Structure 1
Amino acid sequence: MLSDQRRERLDISRLVAEAQAIVHAAATVYLHHLGQWCMGVLVHGSALKGDYIPGCSDIDFQLYLEPAAFTQKGQLPLEVCLALQRDLAQIEPFPFQYIQGHALPPSPWKGYLGPIPGAYHVVAGTLPIPEATEEELRLSARTALEKLDPPMAYLTEGLLEHGGGRLAYRVRLLCTDVWPTLYHILTIQQGNGLGMWNLPKRKAMDLLPKESASAQTLLAFYQAIRTYYPEEAPVEEGLRAIESGVAFLKSVKSWWNEINAS
């Protein structure tokens, strides 16, 4: 539990300028409703590292809470979440797409990867769990690359839908596969996962071999999503993002299969 004094001392100093007011407002809401259980509030991702994509990137919070915060089902009480949402909904997240919060106990599930040193920022409280290690990042990368099997069902099934921002939603889901895959491949290629995960997208992209299929298809994906967002341009731009994103994932899988066959 954070004292009232510590709740008032929100640290947003390392965040990009565009995220600071949003994070301060959101963290204030989280602490107002969850402060009695809160151990630490963290932010990670492009709100910290930079190179966010307007209208696409989110602000990602991790909320570490005492076990007493959770029901027997491992959830927060519904009435708390309803009240929290009413206040959170008053915050304008732009230029980010939305505010995302994950409530976590101080002893997460087996296999949970802790925050990566340097790639997260403590807004309030402390980090109550161990940070990720280089060995864990390499194991995570190998596991993810082994399981990678594009195209994913959420794309092929999602393209049967239309309206209500469904295409934009699928493109954002694809981002959650593409960007981690970039850092996974660099973790293996560079042998420095801790360093790689601290890089913003463009600097990480520049480390891929320029003439490789992975570099070329990822650049096409990056350009496509920057065109598609923040206004959600014509459908063709969204489809181009999906095509290039899947092409990148396929190229990574081919590379992974090749190095493991030799």
Structure 2
Amino acid sequence: MFDVAPLVPEARAVAQAAARIYWQHLQNALQGILIHGSALKGGIIEGCSDIDFRLYLSATLLTPAGQLPLPLSMAIQRDLTAIDLAPFQYIQAYVTSSQTAHQHGGPLPGAYHMLYGTLPVPEATLPELLQRARETIERAQHVPARVAAELLEAGGNRLQLRVRYMCTDVWPVMYSVLALQAPQPLEIWRLSKQSAMYLLPANAPLGRSIRRFSQCVHTYYEQSHSTENALAVLEQGVAFLEAATHWYASYR
């Protein structure tokens, strides 16, 4: 029922279990389950990577806010918590209907896989991809100031969350820079993070900073969640985002 064969081996059991739960609760309203990211392209960082789903649903099931009714979401959550997510950190899923698809845009050709059903919306076009890339880089200019402000706080798992959020800021910017540079932008999004990273010259600011960032991320998640390792991730992430912002200023 769920086509997990194209996924990397370590993602198949998690994807199968999650898809079955979504299907059991949503059934007739469920038009399709899409998966993208490292579960499909490879390059999973153990304990860091998430597994990304998009659920395409009939609008009749959704609230006026475009989400599932709270009791239904709670029932799904109860079942999802029983899944052993390793090597992923968590499941990330978004709900889309044919009426709200324009708010998110279609998926990028070749960079997604339908686990179940069919894609009920058009794929993203090249102009849409390039516009998303520009918007992603433009948003990144605000991240360094946000990080500096947030580091005045402490307690709980705040620092761990900031490391995770930095990853969700940096990797999309890397892909966006490469997409704007590439003669075939769609091909960039089909690459794993590691493969894409090495397209940036090692002797240039973007290439140096993204390699250092990647090394710090692996050290943090694979060796020690120490304060210094966390701060190193944030420092190198900011360095890359600043390099990307500088590059984009000349690109425009």
Q: Quick check: TM above 0.5? A: yes
Query: Partner of 1:15 in structure 2?
Result: 7
Residue-by-residue CA offset, 1:91-120 (whole Å, 9 max, x unaligned)? 011110001111111232545321111111
Query: Partner of 1:191 in structure 2?
Result: 183
For 1:94, the aligned partner's letter is A
Q: Label 1:123 to 1:53 Cα distance change in 2 as closer, same or farther (>3 A).
A: same
Query: Partner of 2:174 in structure 1?
Result: 182
For 2:54, the aligned partner's letter is Q
2:77 corresponds, among 79, 85, 90, to: 85
| Distance in 2, Cα, partners of 1:111 & 1:214 | 31
Deviation of residue 187 (structure 1)? Answer: 0.9
SS of 2:116's equivalent in the other structure is strand
2:117 corresponds, among 112, 125, 139, to: 125
Query: Partner of 2:65 in structure 1?
Result: 73
Query: Partner of 1:35 in structure 2?
Result: 27
Which stretch of structure 1 is more off in the superposition, 84-93 or 150-159?
Answer: 150-159
- Structure 1's unaligned 5+ residue stretches are 1-8
SS of 2:104's equivalent in the other structure is coil
| Distance in 2, Cα, partners of 1:108 & 1:230 | 39
**Over the residues paired in the alignment, what is the CA RMSD in angstroms?**
1.5
- Structure 2's unaligned 5+ residue stretches are none
Contact 2:50 2:88 in 1 (8 A): yes
SS of 1:215's equivalent in the other structure is helix
Query: Partner of 2:94 in structure 1?
Result: 102
| Distance in 2, Cα, partners of 1:130 & 1:27 | 22
SS of 2:239's equivalent in the other structure is helix
Query: Partner of 1:170 in structure 2?
Result: 162
Contact 1:115 1:132 in 2 (8 A): yes
Query: Partner of 1:236 in structure 2?
Result: 228
Amino-acid identity (%): 45
Residue-by-residue CA offset, 1:30-77 (whole Å, 9 max, x unaligned)? 111111210000110001000011101000010000001111222211
Query: Partner of 2:48 in structure 1?
Result: 56
Q: Tell me the TM-score normalised to structure 1 length.
A: 0.91
1:201 corresponds, among 193, 204, 211, to: 193
